[in-house]
Amino acid sequence: MQLGLFDTLRSKPIRLPVAPHGSVLHAASDPDFTFRLPHPRMVWDRAEIEVHRHEDGMWMWSASFMADSEGSSYRVGPKWGKFAETREDALFFAVEELEARIGKKAGSDAALILKWLNALKDNPEAFK
């Protein structure tokens, strides 16, 4: 991951080993913040980011997408070992993760997701 000029103001993400039998938020529980890029015709979203505060005060994130004929999805939780000191940092790292996973994929869905991610990154209004 290449950091930009303003990225140096962020704390580094805290990465712990994945806990195969660890926990994620239950289906009935809502994360503190959810950012969605809906699909206009399908029941799934093109992209979704969940940001949730862990009981220890750190912030966790998940980053899911469905672009053209491929995608991946996971629920936010300590199981994945992805933590940040602030909710803004958690959102930023989720955006970075999706950008890396989508990479240079061709297709209209991938292009729309990347445009949406650019709008979210460093957006001070995202949590209002």
Measuring CA to CA, which residue among 50, 43, 49, 45 is closest to residue 25?
Answer: 50
45: nearest Cα among 116, 96, 118: 116
What are the backbone dihedrals phi and psi of residue 74, each rounded to the nearest 5 degrees, phi first? -155, 155
The number of distinct structural domains making up the chain is 1
- Provide the residue type at 104 as one letter: K
109 within a domain of the structure (yes/no)? yes
Residue range of the domain that includes 60: 10-21+30-120
The answer to the question of residue 95 being in a domain is: yes
Does the residue 128 lie in any domain?
no
Instruction: Evaluate whether 31 touches 51 at the Cβ level (below 8 Å).
Output: yes
Does 17 fall in a domain?
Answer: yes
The pLDDT, as a whole number, for residue 83 is 96
The pLDDT averaged over each successive group of 10 residues in the chain (128 residues) is: 57 86 86 92 89 94 91 93 94 94 86 92 74
- CA 63 to the chain's CA centroid: 3
Residue 127 within any structural domain of the chain: no
Q: At what angle do helices 108-120 and 87-102 cross, to 10 degrees?
A: 160
113 within domain boundaries = yes
From the CB of residue 36, how many other CB atoms can be counted at a distance below 10 Å? 14
Within a domain: 84 = yes
The alpha helices in 1-128, defined as continuous H runs, are: 87-102, 108-120
Token output for 27? 């289906």
What is residue 3's predicted lDDT score, i.e. its pLDDT? Answer: 53
Question: What pTM did the predictor assign?
Answer: 0.85
pLDDT of residue 104: 78
Whether 34 is in a domain gets the answer yes
pLDDT of residue 92: 92
Query: What is the predicted pLDDT for the residue at 59?
Result: 96
Strands 33-38, 45-53: pairing kind: antiparallel
